[in-house]
Amino acid sequence: MPYPILELPKDAPIQLEQLGTKTKFWYESPTGQKMLFKEGRPGTGENWAEKVCCEICKLLGLPHADYELALWNGHAGVVTPSFVPEGGRLVLGNELLARIVDDYDQSARFRARQHTVRIVMKIASASSVGFPLDWQSPEEISDAAGVFVGYLLLDALVSNQDRHHENWGLVLVPDQGLFLAPTFDHASSLGRNEKDKRRVERLTTKDKGRTVQTYVERARSAFFSSRKSTKPLKTLEAFREAAKIRPDAADCWRERLSEINPSQYMGIFDEMPGSEISVPARDFACRMLEINTKRLLDFSF
């Protein structure tokens, strides 16, 4: 049965959301739940990519924001319930880093060279930071830093190049403390922005420089190795750096990845309405997942 596309009433918005570059607004569901609508830019594949990554998070057991396809006033997008409790707030990575890194540029999403895996892992490993709310951790995961390792595995798996310092954070709940936020915002994944013609070319070419393998190997994260680095780490390199810091957690997440059958990925795409994704986009994304799974399971750290 295809994933539903929720239709929102025209008068749904109750509060505009300023963060980010896309049209977003908060509204209240019929059950009184605070929800965020995020419009996907037409022709970019952002909506299906967000939904597919959400379902992959479920397969991995990662704490994640839930997403459903939606339509508001003729605009296609996704909706997600707030993961911040009443009275709490989301403290984004750039705010956290500005408190501990001198002269940290909070506006430089993809140019912040102080945005390193090591410093983010340091923040997440603080004893004051708890696991994501309402999430049961496996025995191998000892702290929030171990959970973040899983986020970076996800990024490498789906070639997510958008985990900049506003796409991770901590949830502050008065009288309870700080908690790692679930992983969210995965719309820049799975080659969703490629044209179908290029997808087909990469899927069928014999030119090694144009294959899907080469394509995924070029995927870069928003993390740097150090402030002296000139280029951000590739997504697999970012996971490797985190894996060295929390090897038990890395092994746990890789074990979960190894248990996923490729047919489960195909099952996700089979549930995607035909209006949301083309056959070449589906085939290309599945090939990316196949290659990235092998890369993640084969490398050592």
Q: pLDDT tens for residues 136-165?
A: 999 999 999 999 999 999 999 999 999 999
Judgement on whether residues 73 and 93 belong to the same structural domain of the protein: no
Residue 183 sits in the same domain as residue 267: yes
Low-confidence ranges of the chain (pLDDT < 50): none
As a 3-state breakdown, the chain gives helix, strand, coil percent values, each rounded to 5, of 40, 15, 45
Q: Are 74 and 199 in a shared domain?
A: no
Provide the token pair at 268.
């996700």
Please tell me whether residues 15 and 128 are part of one structural domain: no
Supply the pLDDT for residue 20: 57
Task: Show the tokens assigned to 261.
Answer: 């059958």
Phi-psi bin for 172: left (phi > 0), alpha (psi -120 to 50), beta? beta
End-to-end Cα, the chain, rounded Å: 41
Q: 93 and 54, same structural domain?
A: no
Residues 217 and 128 in one domain: yes
78 forms beta bridges with: 38, 69
Whether residue 248 sits in one domain with residue 216 = yes
CATH number at residue 126: 1.10.1070.20
CB contact at 8 A, 291 and 212: yes
Domain span holding position 9: 5-81
119 and 62, same structural domain? no
Summarised one tens digit per residue, pLDDT across range 224-244 is 999 889 999 999 999 999 999
Number of domains in the chain: 2
